[in-house]
Amino acid sequence: MVQDTTPARRARSSVREDLLDAATDLLARRGYARLRMADVAARVGVSRQTVYNEFGGKRALVQSVALRTLAEFTDGIQRRLDTADDVLAGIHAATAYTIDHAKENRLVAAVTGSEVAEDLLPLLTTRGEPILQAATDMAESYLRERCPALTEPRFVAETATRLTLSYLMLPTGSTTEAADGVCAVVGPLIDTSTPK
């Protein structure tokens, strides 16, 4: 299949990214309830109809922002897993990256630390299944590859993911302490399944 690289296609892709950037910034500043499609359009200098043509509606726009943010996190996590010397070092590095990057990411930082964006909190909690699923799938794939003798890779992956999200949502110490805590819980699960 030949990829369409015409100027019109590149411009449309650029407009879409600009709209996602604008929506991300507005969501972080205002939350879901106060996000208006007209404001997103004005930030980019396009008509409101252009935003609707690209995304269909506010919910789809916010979902696209969430998916792009998730992809950013999973790319960073994957890089840390791939470069780690061993499994626990990978889990530690991935946990630390997730927590640190959440503080730096303007949208996630707003969701976890701002009353303005608290209406987006369900994207990480009660409606957080897509994020939990994607992160658990990545961790499970990593564990299956690196620990083929592990008898319950899905359980270990989900445990590590849920603990990481818990530390992200309710930090009680440093990033290193959070990553140490995740490894303290999942380390024995990995060790008992690995043949000596």
pLDDT recorded at residue 113: 73
pLDDT recorded at residue 151: 92
Q: Name every residue whose Cβ is closer than 8 Å to that of residue 147 and which is 6 or more positions away in sequence.
A: 87, 153, 190, 193, 194
Residue 99 has pLDDT above 50, yes or no: yes
Q: What is this structure's pTM?
A: 0.79
Give the closest residue to 186 by CA, choosing from 112, 116, 136. 136
As a 3-state breakdown, the chain gives helix, strand, coil percent values, each rounded to 5, of 80, 0, 20
pLDDT digits (tens, 9 = 90+) for 32-59: 889 999 999 999 999 999 999 999 999 8
Q: Where are the beta strands (DSSP E) in 21-128?
A: none
pLDDT digits (tens, 9 = 90+) for 119-174: 776 766 666 677 888 899 999 999 999 999 999 999 999 999 999 988 988 888 99
pLDDT recorded at residue 111: 77
Each domain of the chain, given as residue ranges in start order, spans: 7-193
The CATH number of the domain covering residues in 7-193: 1.10.357.10
Place 10 in a pLDDT band, splitting at 50, 70 and 90: very low
Lowest mean pLDDT among 4-13, 42-51, 53-62, 86-95: 4-13
Q: Name every residue whose Cβ is closer than 8 Å to that of residue 90 and which is 6 or more positions away in sequence.
A: 80, 81, 82, 84, 142, 146
What sign does the dihedral 104-105-107-111 (CA atoms) show?
negative
108 vs 38, residue with greater confidence:
38
